[in-house]
Amino acid sequence: MQSVGRRYVRYINANYRRSGTPWEGRFKSATVSVDEYLIMCSRYIELNPVRAGIVAHPRDYRWSSYRYRALGLTDPLLVDDPWYTGLGTTAEERREKYREWIESEVHEGEWEEIRQSTQRGRLIGREAFQRQVEAMTGRRLVGEARDRPKKSSAIGTEKVL
């Protein structure tokens, strides 16, 4: 079985121009509030294949929800999320606003916020949302430093003569 696994990895890496094991790296996720932050993350996800150079436009990526949301193509795996239905009163209005949103300018720091929150397993949303989740879980989730505590500068500063 080990031999089969090794050959499989070589095959995948050669055919998909990648390296390493298919399962390398830690799983990363973040909790997202259901407001403008959810649609912000949706744009980030839709444009991932474009940033990676896989396709020129999100409509060209086979696994994207862009074609469903922006072009109206059917996909039995997808349903209209509340944030998406809130984009307009008609299906065409929703599709047009979604296309405009994907094409609109990304605000400075938007993608970095998503990356950092996902890397650290943090919440993505307004401060009120973050405090609400903290209250529900009984845990402090925002603003905690995860590094080792710094050594006190007072310790070990005396000179021994």
pLDDT, residue 161, reads 47
Mean pLDDT computed over every residue of the chain: 84
pLDDT, residue 144, reads 53
pLDDT in tens, 22-77: 777 677 778 888 777 888 888 999 999 999 999 999 999 999 999 999 999 999 99
pLDDT in tens, 77-100: 998 888 889 999 999 999 999 999
**Rg from Cα positions in the chain:** 22
Percentage with pLDDT > 90 across the chain: 35
How much is the pTM?
0.66
pLDDT at residue 159 above 60?
Answer: no
pLDDT at residue 19 above 90?
Answer: no
Percentage with pLDDT > 70 across the chain: 86
pLDDT, residue 149, reads 61
pLDDT, residue 66, reads 95
Instruction: Quote the tokens at residue 54.
Output: 């896989």
What span, in angstroms and rounded, lies between the C-alpha atoms of 124 and 33?
Answer: 6
Long-range contacts of residues 112-119, Cβ cutoff 8 Å, at least 24 apart: 114/30, 114/40, 114/41, 114/44, 117/30, 118/28, 118/29, 118/30, 119/28
pLDDT at residue 147 above 50?
Answer: yes
pLDDT at residue 154 above 60?
Answer: no
pLDDT, residue 31, reads 83
Q: Could you give the angle at which helices 36-51 and 110-120 cross, rounded to 10 degrees?
A: 90
What span, in angstroms and rounded, lies between the C-alpha atoms of 65 and 76?
Answer: 11
